[in-house]
């Protein structure tokens, strides 16, 4: 079967599209797309959800799409059917949206919530300073704004893209004209730094992870040591589209490291002075961490559901709540008497539990230039997966 995919940019057709349409025996498209083109008399017309009805013996066919059909578009579905279409693209909706805004977009993370869970897209919006969301039913501006409560973000709507009334505006809760894209920006007026890779800096960060304690402001050595952080990060598996709770966050070293690896982070800390320190550490490492001042588990109600939880402070009651809401929990313990109840709390919630004792001796330089081994305090690291 000969299939041509035509990207639509308002009323404009890409070169070659008119000829492909004129000879088509089958035309596939949504009602607003079909209304924008001349469908040949006698051609079979199908909706975009009816690709399975494409007759194998009928050729040629034209499939209509908005913008660039190779960018989160229908080209993938056609290739999964074994077809190798000719693609005539238009400008992508994201390129159009940022052109209307007069802003470069090589730093923008583009996520799709069309036909997918909104959760991962929201977590990227929470973590990344500039995001474009390709929306869908139940995953539009209203839901995105609701999910960003507590995060400092400006939500804009680029609507009627390619149409006579296309524009970018702040979302006011009213109806939005399709096709549209939601733009989520930490600072609408910021000029992005000159980058070298689309979507912002890559994950993992070039400077590595499990950073030295000296790279964080902390109080009297009250910080999760880098060796403990390295294993905790391996068990938490933070990354783009995931949300991590850092409970009893202290100076926030674990939460900041998770954010540097692309995750959205909520840090809970009861000490106001530590909260200030945590914000300063997040700012110093150029990541966005939502800080909740208060005592866990009381303040956990109403927070967005996590994909992983690190418990750096708090007893078995905190671990029990974390284990009930998260498929991954990592607990750092200095006190031996908390091991058994925390392990039991994880097991009661259906987690498979494992752990280690970390005993680290670091190089310490002697006056003559040689080194000795200086022991740090042992730490129990307990983790559960469900």
Whether 221 and 316 map to the same domain: the answer is yes
Residues 100 and 54 in one domain: no
For residue 160 the two structure tokens come to 């009627």
DSSP of 224-261:
--HHHHHHHHHHH---TT-EEEEET-TT-HHHHHHHHT
How far apart (Å, rounded) are the C-alpha atoms in residues 163 and 87? Answer: 22
Q: Is the separation of the CB atoms in 310 and 287 below 8 Å?
A: no
**Residue 59 and residue 166 in one domain:** no
Last residue of a domain, one of 54, 73, 90: 90
Helix (H) or strand (E) holding 95, with range, is: helix 93-101
Strands across the sheet with 26-28, in order?
A: 44-46, 26-28, 61-66, 3-8, 86-88
How confident is the model over 216-255, as pLDDT tens digits?
Answer: 999 888 899 999 999 999 999 999 999 999 999 999 999 9
What's the number of domains the chain is made of?
3
CATH of the domain at 376: 3.40.50.150
Residues 6+ apart with CB under 8 A from 292: 266, 267, 268, 269, 299, 303
* CA 185/CA 126 separation, integer angstroms: 10
CA dist 313 and 196 (Å) reads 39
- Is residue 229 a part of any domain in this protein? yes
Burial class (CB in 10 A: 0-12, 13-18, 19+), 210: middle
Give exposure, 263-287, as e/b (b: 16+ Cβ within 10 Å).
bbbbbbbbbeebbebbeebbeebeb
139 located within any domain: yes
CA 228/CA 355 separation, integer angstroms: 12
Is there a cis peptide before residue 121, judged by omega within 30 degrees of 0?
A: no
Same domain, 326 and 238: yes
361: helix, strand or coil: strand
Question: Domain check: are 81 and 119 in the same one?
Answer: no
- Gap between the Cα atoms of 238 and 286, Å rounded: 17
The DSSP string of 149-196 is TTS--EEEEEESTTSTT-EEEE--SS--PSS-EEEEES-TT--PPP-S
Tell me the three state secondary structure of residue 317.
helix
Whether residue 360 sits in one domain with residue 348: yes
In this structure, the answer to whether residues 239 and 371 fall within a common structural domain is: yes
CB atoms within 10 A of CB 53: 11
Distance (Å, whole) CA 322 – CA 291: 17
DSSP reduced 3-state for 282:
helix
In this structure, the answer to whether residues 175 and 217 fall within a common structural domain is no
pLDDT tens digits, one per residue of 98-126: 999 999 999 999 999 988 889 999 999 99
Do 249 and 333 lie in one domain? The reply is yes
Among 51, 75, 90, identify where a domain stops.
Answer: 90
**What pLDDT sits at residue 164?**
86
Local confidence pLDDT in tens for the 386 residues of the chain: 789 999 998 777 899 999 999 999 999 999 988 998 999 999 999 998 888 887 777 679 999 998 899 999 999 999 998 889 999 999 999 999 999 999 999 999 999 998 888 999 999 999 999 999 999 888 999 999 999 999 999 999 999 888 888 999 998 888 888 878 999 999 999 888 888 889 988 788 888 999 999 999 998 888 999 999 999 999 999 999 999 999 999 999 999 999 999 999 999 999 999 999 999 999 999 999 999 999 999 999 999 999 999 999 888 999 999 999 999 999 999 999 999 999 999 999 999 999 999 999 999 999 999 999 999 999 999 999 99
Same domain, 283 and 151: no
Please report the pLDDT score of residue 345 as a whole number: 97
Query: What pLDDT is attached to residue 58?
Result: 67
CATH classification at residue 30: 3.40.1010.10
Q: How large is the C-alpha radius of gyration of the chain?
A: 26
241 and 293 belong to one structural domain: yes
- For 100, the 3-state DSSP assignment is helix
CA-wise closest residue to 48 among 88, 78, 14: 78
Fill in the DSSP letter of residue 23. Answer: T
Handedness of CA 178, 181, 186, 189 (dihedral sign): negative
**Residue 166, in any domain of the structure:** yes
- The verdict on 120 and 47 lying in the same domain is no
What CATH number is associated with residue 98?
Answer: 3.30.950.10
Q: Measure Cα distances from 184 to 144, 203, 226 in Å.
A: 9, 20, 33
Beta partners for residue 292, in sequence order:
268
* Domain assignment present for 113: yes
User: Structural domain of residue 237, as residue ranges?
Assistant: 213-385
| Residue ending a domain, choose from 71, 90, 109 | 90
């Amino acid at each position: 079967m000969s299939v041509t995919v035509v990207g639509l940019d308002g009323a404009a057709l890409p070169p070659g599209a008119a000829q492909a349409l004129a000879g088509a025996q089958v035309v596939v498209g949504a009602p607003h797309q079909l209304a924008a083109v001349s469908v040949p008399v006698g051609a079979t017309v199908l909706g975009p959800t009816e690709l399975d009805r494409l007759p194998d013996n009928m050729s040629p066919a034209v499939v209509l799409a908005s913008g660039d059909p190779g960018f989160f578009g229908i080209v993938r579905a056609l290739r999964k059917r074994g077809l190798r279409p000719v693609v005539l693209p238009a400008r992508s909706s994201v390129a159009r949206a940022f052109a209307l805004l007069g802003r470069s977009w090589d730093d923008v993370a583009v996520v799709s919530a069309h036909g997918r869970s909104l959760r991962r897209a929201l977590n990227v919006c929470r973590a990344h300073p500039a995001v474009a969301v390709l929306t869908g039913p139940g995953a539009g501006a209203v839901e995105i704004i609701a999910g960003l409560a507590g995060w400092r973000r400006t939500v804009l709507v680029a609507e009627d893209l390619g149409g006579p009334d296309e524009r970018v505006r702040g979302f006011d809760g009213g109806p939005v004209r399709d096709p549209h894209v939601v733009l989520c920006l930490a600072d609408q007026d910021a000029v992005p730094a000159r980058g070298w890779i689309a979507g912002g800096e890559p994950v993992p960060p070039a400077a590595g992870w499990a950073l030295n304690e000296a790279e964080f402001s902390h109080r009297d050595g009250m910080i999760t040591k880098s060796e403990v952080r390295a294993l905790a990060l391996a068990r938490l598996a933070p990354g783009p589209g995931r949300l991590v709770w850092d409970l009893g966050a202290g100076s926030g070293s674990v939460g900041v490291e998770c954010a540097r690896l692309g995750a959205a982070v909520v840090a809970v800390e009861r000490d106001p002075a530590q909260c200030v320190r945590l914000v300063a550490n997040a700012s110093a490492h150029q990541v966005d961490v939502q800080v909740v001042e208060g005592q866990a588990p009381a303040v956990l109600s109403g927070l967005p559901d996590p994909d992983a939880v690190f418990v750096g402070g708090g007893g078995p009651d905190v671990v029990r709540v974390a284990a009930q809401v998260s498929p991954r929990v990592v607990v750092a313990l200095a006190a031996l008497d908390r091991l058994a109840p925390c392990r039991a709390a994880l097991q009661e919630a259906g987690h498979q539990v494992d752990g280690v004792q970390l005993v680290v001796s670091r190089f310490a330089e002697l006056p003559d230039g040689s080194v000795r081994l200086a022991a740090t305090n042992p730490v129990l690291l307990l983790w559960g997966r469900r």
